[in-house]
Amino acid sequence: MGEELTNAALIGLIALFLLTLVLRAAGSVAAFLTGAPQPTASWAAGTGVLFNPGNPAVALGAPGLSPVIYWVTTAVALPGLGPVLRMFLACVR
């Protein structure tokens, strides 16, 4: 029973890490699309967006970043996580 819980915890941590990367990358893409300055925050700032979803520019350190464009970019990028997680799970099993 211990191995299953460990595997589940590791998969959860990897999923959180990938989500953080997608949220941060979406900030870079949205800034590029709108002509706003590129985010200055580190990759870990992607998680900070979840605490202030109405103003991702503050969490990412990108003044002028449009929240609408950011969340549309995120919505387009998130489905790409599914195949990555499935591929990882196939390697683990």
For 44-64, give the secondary structure using H, E and C.
Answer: CHHHHHHHCCCCHHHHHCCCC
- How far is it, in rounded angstroms, from Cα 93 to Cα 85? 12
pLDDT confidence of residue 93: 66
Cβ density class 65-86: b for 16+ within 10 Å, e for less: bbeebbbebbeeeeeeeeeeee
- pTM for the model stands at 0.82
What the block records as the tokens of 16 is: 């959180």
- How far is it, in rounded angstroms, from Cα 30 to Cα 86? 27
For the chain (93 residues), the mean pLDDT of every run of 10, in chain order, is 83 89 94 94 91 94 94 91 78 72
